[in-house]
Amino acid sequence: MARTRKRQNLAGQLREAINASGLTRYRICKDCEIDQGAVSRFMHGTAGLNLESAGRIAEYLGLELAPKQPAKASKRTTKRKGGK
């Protein structure tokens, strides 16, 4: 039976990429100029990373954000004034 992979959120994907990189967290933190403690807490799931730090790590590892499908306009933004 084929094993299905659970879709991960962005943080999960970043954690997976860090683990799969073959680099030590120390090297990643040093090269990206990010606090080791912050990355350690992120990797253990006890805290998040700010967007700047996550972006630095993603760029360092050669990752790129790309939407899976185009964003759709919400019904809320397409309604006209007066409910018509």
Which amino acid appears at position 36 of this protein?
Q
pLDDT of residue 58: 95
pLDDT of residue 9: 85
Domain boundaries, given as residue ranges, for the chain? 10-60
Residues 6 or more apart in contact with residue 41 via CB below 8 angstroms = 47
Q: Tell me: the pLDDT tens digits for 23-65?
A: 999 999 999 999 999 999 999 999 999 999 999 999 999 998 7
pLDDT of residue 41: 96
Token look-up 């700047």 returns 52
d(CA 39, CA 19): 12
What is the value of pTM for the model shown? Answer: 0.70
CA distances from 50 to 11, 15, 47 (A): 11, 14, 10
